[in-house]
Structure 1
Amino acid sequence: MNKMKKIIVIITVVLLFSSGCATDSIELDNSGITVTDVLGREVNLKNEIKKVLAVGPGALRLYTIVGDLDKLVGIEQIEIDSNTGRPYNIANPKLQNIEVIGMGGPNNQPDTEKILSVKPDVIFSMYSTDLSAVEKLQKTTNIPVVALSYGTSPPYDEDIYSSLLLIGEVMDKESRGEEVVSFLKDVRSDLDARTRDLEYKPKVYIGALSSKGIHGIESTAGNYALLNAINANNVADELGKSGSIMIDKEKLMEWNPDKIIIDMAGKDLVIEEYNLNKSFYDEISAFKNNEIYMQLPFNYYNTNIGTSIANAYYIGKSIYPEEFEDIMPEVKADEIYEFLYGEKVYNKMSDDYGKYEKLKIN
């Protein structure tokens, strides 16, 4: 009997051990994936993501380009307050019907209670400038947070590429992420190839750029990504500054640009200023020769990638007509919008702001 008991005990131990090993193997196989986000954080996720949030300036835009919209379970209020100037919203009206999970905006942190109420499997966050804030959101909600970024020179920035690939990896849409990154790089190469070896490059000024509000012609930018993409001679680069710059109009006279690009958001202020000081502005070459062109606004809750690329082709054609003679800006814009967002939305954008054309000031 003692011998029999020993045999039974041994068999029982072996079975328990085997059972334990089998359970560990199953848990390992279904433990999910680990990704490294743009902040260098390793984030553990489920194998299958069924519910998603994309929060912070521009996160939803990147997600709509790569991810599955049917898996979105919440949206920020700022994304539904207005569709104006946001092609990803125009192309996807069903976004307006998703439950609101917070105000959104660069100065508003996520509402953790509302986030928890929709039970997402992952949060894509563009509130990524502060590592501690990302960690706090993840710790407070106990939901994996994947930090994204637009970098410093969108739309052609390695951080954007990484963010799009991250979304593809998490959402099991790697091929779409790679397709979009390849598209952005090809666009950048095409713009560069058309313009980099030109001997003559006219002096260009970009004005009426929005920066914490709408501004007139004195608002410009140095190291401007769209002008850099087409190797333009941006007169403001002389100042040695990057980003938003406010100048005196006398500086514009000194630079005397051959061509001026005006952001449509500020065009009314430009026309008003011109009508008040016609004699002054008529001495500037671009005004004198009717070489003032308009671009669509593309910075609202971070950079609207599709519009910025469409603008680059239009500006390129305005500055170097021969090098872009094969480009019809309206058609090109819709090609870009359709590839990124699934719909041709140029007509709606032009209804809201205006067409790609010269500024009518008289």
Structure 2
Amino acid sequence: METKVMRLAGLASILCLLLVSGGCGERKVEERKEKVTDLLGRQVEVAIPAKRIVAIGPGTLRLVCYLQAASKVVGVEDAEKRWQPFEGRPYLLANPQLRDLPVIGSGGPGSNPDPERLALVRPDVVFATYLLDRGQADQLQQKARVPVVVLSYGELSTFSAEVEESILLLGKLIGEEKRAAEVVGYMKRCFEDLSRRVKDIPVSAKPRIYVGGLGARGSHGIESTQAKFPPLVALRAKNVADESGREGSVMVDREKLLQWDPEVIVLDEVALPLILSDYKKNPDFYRRLRAVKEGRVYGQLPFNYYATNIENTLANAYWLGSLLYPRAFRDVDPVRKAEEIYSFLLGRPLYQDVARAYGGFKKVEFK
């Protein structure tokens, strides 16, 4: 009897070892390392999927939030905690817990990453945009002893190939490939829908439009605009700034704006207090503009705030479409569409919060 019990105990021990080695109980996932090419063309070896991540530089954390991966973030820049109102960066409204994480550097345009602070939070990978060139990225990787993968918004951000590539690469490295494909697909469908609605509108029926007060490394007045402004590209609109022959941010001389004299002016609401203050000092300039005289000046949600708010840009595109081509957008409620966009990209309807802070979709009154 004793021998039988001992034999059974021995068999049980062997069976237990076989089950553990075969994956019973807590299965140890083998670390898979892969070399990827980042948006600077650098080859970086990363353990996939990364579970602990840091996102530094303008706009990087926003892309992480689009992939519903805020829980993987282990540290944030001080700028993300300090710069207010948070409504200017809706990804922080949707993920307020990010502001409670350890600080891993100062953040902000032109700031230098802090390799020591980065190392302290033990990330599997650091994602970055704009702050780093090839040499700086390699140097940070060497000092922090963490893979550094550089992403990009491109020159024109929303609808750009660089944004698409960045989202897909990010998704691959953090195990969110399905969500990344969904996000890219949603953005493409928005672009296609906007373009489809306006494709048959003749050029002669399109009003000339100017978008002013766009942020570019800070807040600026009415002179700050963009040529090839993404929402207007999608809408095939007549953006007077395109006549500059440039692409991206443009600072326009006031005389040039008077010369263009657009029929519609849209002002970014981050800069609206600055522009209305300037109006009080220089009312004659503004009163000479046709759009001001005819009451066709409107506000839009913050476009750039630590890089481009892509969700706001998509919402703005539908708002601008309804202003420029009301018949083509007669079935669109811009506020409801904005809430749909926020809900898909950031998981929550946020329009009312942003509108309370900045004004939302409205006509701008010069008083």
- Give the partner amino acid of 1:270: I
Q: 1:98 aligns with which of 85, 98, 101?
A: 101
Secondary structure at 1:176 match in 2: helix
Tell me, in whole angstroms, the C-alpha distance in 2 between the residues paired with 1:277 and 1:43.
53
Secondary structure at 1:162 match in 2: helix
CA contact (8 A) 1:217 1:270 kept: yes
The 1:249/1:126 distance shift into structure 2, 3 A limit, reads closer
Confirm whether residue 285 of structure 1 aligns to residue 286 of structure 2.
no
Aligned pairs for 1:136-215 within 5 A: 136-199=139-202, 200-215=205-220
Secondary structure at 1:46 match in 2: strand
- CA deviations over 1:89-119 (Å, ceiling 9, x no partner): 0011111111111101221121111111111
Tell me, in whole angstroms, the C-alpha distance in 2 between the residues paired with 1:117 and 1:270.
43
The 1:69/1:217 distance shift into structure 2, 3 A limit, reads closer
Tell me, in whole angstroms, the C-alpha distance in 2 between the residues paired with 1:245 and 1:228.
16
Structure 2 unaligned regions, length at least 5:
1-29
Moved more, 174-183 or 205-214: 205-214
Moved more, 176-185 or 197-206: 197-206
Which residue matches 1:258? 263
Which residue matches 1:234? 239
Which residue matches 2:125? 122
* Residue 167 (structure 1) shift: 1.4
Which residue matches 1:35? 36
CA contact (8 A) 1:128 1:148 kept: no
- CA deviations over 1:58-116 (Å, ceiling 9, x no partner): 11110111152222111111111131300000011111111111101221121111111
Tell me, in whole angstroms, the C-alpha distance in 2 between the residues paired with 1:127 and 1:40.
14
Moved more, 258-267 or 112-121: 258-267
CA contact (8 A) 1:208 1:214 kept: yes
* Residue 283 (structure 1) shift: 4.3
Tell me, in whole angstroms, the C-alpha distance in 1 between the residues paired with 2:262 and 2:67.
40
* Residue 196 (structure 1) shift: 3.0
Please report the TM-score for the alignment, with normalisation by the length of structure 2.
0.86
Moved more, 250-259 or 114-123: 250-259
Tell me, in whole angstroms, the C-alpha distance in 1 between the residues paired with 2:247 and 2:130.
22
Structure 1 unaligned regions, length at least 5:
1-28
Tell me, in whole angstroms, the C-alpha distance in 2 between the residues paired with 1:226 and 1:264.
16
**Residue identity (%):** 42
Q: 2:330 aligns with which of 306, 325, 343?
A: 325
CA contact (8 A) 2:224 2:249 kept: yes
Pairwise CA RMSD of aligned residues?
2.1
Tell me, in whole angstroms, the C-alpha distance in 1 between the residues paired with 2:217 and 2:39.
26
Aligned pairs for 1:21-60 within 5 A: 30-60=31-61
Tell me, in whole angstroms, the C-alpha distance in 1 between the residues paired with 2:146 and 2:190.
36
Aligned pairs for 1:262-277 within 5 A: 262-276=267-281
The 1:45/1:280 distance shift into structure 2, 3 A limit, reads closer
Tell me, in whole angstroms, the C-alpha distance in 2 between the residues paired with 1:275 and 1:68.
45
Tell me, in whole angstroms, the C-alpha distance in 1 between the residues paired with 2:193 and 2:225.
25
CA contact (8 A) 1:57 1:301 kept: yes
Which residue matches 2:64? 63
- CA deviations over 1:282-328 (Å, ceiling 9, x no partner): 44331222111111112111111101111111111111111111111
Number of residue pairs matched by the alignment: 336
Secondary structure at 1:178 match in 2: helix
Tell me, in whole angstroms, the C-alpha distance in 1 between the residues paired with 2:284 and 2:53.
57
The 1:316/1:238 distance shift into structure 2, 3 A limit, reads same
Moved more, 72-81 or 33-42: 33-42
Confirm whether residue 296 of structure 1 aligns to residue 301 of structure 2.
yes
Confirm whether residue 85 of structure 1 aligns to residue 98 of structure 2.
no
